[in-house]
């Protein structure tokens, strides 16, 4: 999870959205950009999946009171999946990657497909959606609970992981020190790699069909990969 420091730094001046706390306590910040993305699940959202009635944009993920996680005032019902299938960390003797935690767990509360998109803490009934009540196989956003074919997440970037992940293949890794000190690499407060290392839930600036995935953190895919990996 991010630190309280970041939380205090930036509620955005999101025009047309309802701020979660008194605006005076919070500076202007970037998340206003979420409004134009498919993560705007309110009636004004641009995507196929959106609410029929709800006008608040942030509410699908954040609530001002009785949050499920204090940072970042998380409101979307969390998944109850007991365990995800995860890839092995080859550089650590093939031990399984940790179960998703931190921000990744928040993403998976919608993307594993087990929880209704409109299920918000403290609401008697889920917000009714057009398009899909929850993400199901075949939807572009569906990941499911088998993450074994995905890049490992929720592990600490440490020197144990900086050996070559696949011996003999040309995908080397920089040292943990180099990775951690590169300001472009988005690790969480515990130096873990999370979904947010590669995707930014609040902004979809760089999307290009078949070239750059949605919510990507940089203009190209390779500059993200190459911030940690070194081709040989
Ligand atoms: C689809 C889900 C989603 C929506 C909608 C959303 N957020 Fe977030 N937000 C997240 C996630 C996930 C995190 C934690 C990971 C991170 O910090 O990026 C987060 C973190 C934050 C933080 C912590 C600071 C930071 O960026 O590290 C702030 C502030 C924030 N959101 C504000 C907002 C506001 C204001 C809105 C509405 C305009 C909004 N968010 C809409 C998912 C969402
Ligand atoms: C409140 C539910 C919710 C949360 C939380 C959430 N998302 Fe999403 N996300 C969606 C929905 C709905 C879509 C549209 C998917 C669709 O149409 O199938 C989407 C779309 C996406 C897409 C684009 C998929 C595509 O190729 O069209 C990506 C990438 C994505 N989300 C990543 C994330 C990440 C990373 C996080 C956490 C930082 C996150 N999401 C948190 C609901 C959510
Ligand atoms: C190492 C970078 C990286 C990380 C970490 C990562 N993704 Fe992605 N994601 C990608 C790339 C690249 C794509 C484009 C499609 C592909 O190559 O699989 C993608 C595609 C997606 C899609 C579209 C559906 C699909 O399978 O193509 C969703 C939804 C998504 N990511 C969500 C997430 C969530 C949620 C997490 C954390 C559990 C996450 N991503 C972690 C790089 C990443
Ligand atoms: C924050 C740093 C970081 C980023 C960004 C990153 N990786 Fe990795 N990647 C790692 C680490 C560390 C490992 C080794 C994990 C282990 O096995 O211990 C790894 C492992 C891998 C592996 C081997 C997986 C396996 O099954 O052993 C591949 C392939 C890979 N990364 C590709 C990518 C691609 C493609 C991208 C960009 C879309 C990317 N990585 C982005 C740090 C990163």
Tens digit of each residue's pLDDT (9 = 90 or more) over 58-99: 999 999 999 999 999 999 999 999 999 999 987 778 899 999
Question: Poorest-confidence range of 27-31, 93-97, 142-146, 184-188?
Answer: 27-31
Atom of ligand 2 nearest to the CA of 106: 5
Q: Which of 13-17, 48-52, 208-212 has the lowest mean pLDDT?
A: 13-17
For residue 2, the model assigns a pLDDT of 32
| Residue 166: band (very low, low, confident or very high) from pLDDT cuts 50, 70, 90 | low
What integer pLDDT is reported at residue 67 of this predicted model?
95
CA distance 45 to 41: 5
User: Cα(192)–Cα(4) distance, rounded to whole angstroms?
Assistant: 17
Is there an atom of ligand 3 within 6 Å of 110 CB?
Answer: no
- Of all atoms in ligand 1, which is nearest to the CA of residue 11? 29
Average pLDDT over residues 148-177: 80
5, 30, 62: residue to mutate for ligand 1 pocket, most atoms within 8 A of CB: 62
- Report the atom number in ligand 3 closest to the C-alpha of 108: 35
pLDDT at 94: 85
Q: Average pLDDT, whole number, for the chain?
A: 85
d(CA 121, CA 62): 10
**Could you tell me the pLDDT band of residue 9, with boundaries at 50, 70 and 90?**
very low
Separation of CA 2 and ligand 1 centre (Å): 11
Q: Is residue 126 predicted with pLDDT exceeding 80?
A: yes
> Does ligand 3 come within 6 angstroms of the Cβ of 143?
yes
Instruction: Evaluate: CB of 51 within 6 angstroms of ligand 3.
Output: no
Separation of alpha carbons 142 and 110, rounded Å: 9
- Nearest ligand atom owner, CA of 40: 1
> 206 CA distance to ligand 2 centroid (A)?
15
Closest among 132, 180, 138, 176 to 158, alpha carbons compared: 176
Residue 19: band (very low, low, confident or very high) from pLDDT cuts 50, 70, 90: very low
Nearest CA to ligand 1 atom 27: 6
CA 170, chain centre distance (Å): 28
Q: Do 67 and 52 touch, CB atoms closer than 8 A?
A: no
CA distance 127 to 69: 20
Residue 145 has pLDDT above 90, yes or no: yes
């Amino acid at each position: 999870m991010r630190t309280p420091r970041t939380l205090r730094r930036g509620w955005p001046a999101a025009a047309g959205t309802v701020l979660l706390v008194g605006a005076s306590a919070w500076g202007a910040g970037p998340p206003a950009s979420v409004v134009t993305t498919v993560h705007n699940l309110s009636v004004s959202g641009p995507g196929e999946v959106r609410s029929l009635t709800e006008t608040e944009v942030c509410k699908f993920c954040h609530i001002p009171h009785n949050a499920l996680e204090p940072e970042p005032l998380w409101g979307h019902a969390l998944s109850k999946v007991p365990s995800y299938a995860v890839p092995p960390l080859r550089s650590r003797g093939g031990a399984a990657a940790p179960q998703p935690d931190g921000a990744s767990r928040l993403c998976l509360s919608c993307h594993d497909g087990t929880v209704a998109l409109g299920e918000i803490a403290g609401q008697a009934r889920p917000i009714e959606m057009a398009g899909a009540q929850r993400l199901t196989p075949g939807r572009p956003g569906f990941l499911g609970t088998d993450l074994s074919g995905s890049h490992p997440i929720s592990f600490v970037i440490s020197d144990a992981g900086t050996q070559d992940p696949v011996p003999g293949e040309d995908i080397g890794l920089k040292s943990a020190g180099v990775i951690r000190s590169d300001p472009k690499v988005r690790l969480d407060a515990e130096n873990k790699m999370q979904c947010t290392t590669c995707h930014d839930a609040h902004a979809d600036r760089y999307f290009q069909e078949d070239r750059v995935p949605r919510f990507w953190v940089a203009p190209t895919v390779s500059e993200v990969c190459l911030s940690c990996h070194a081709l040989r």
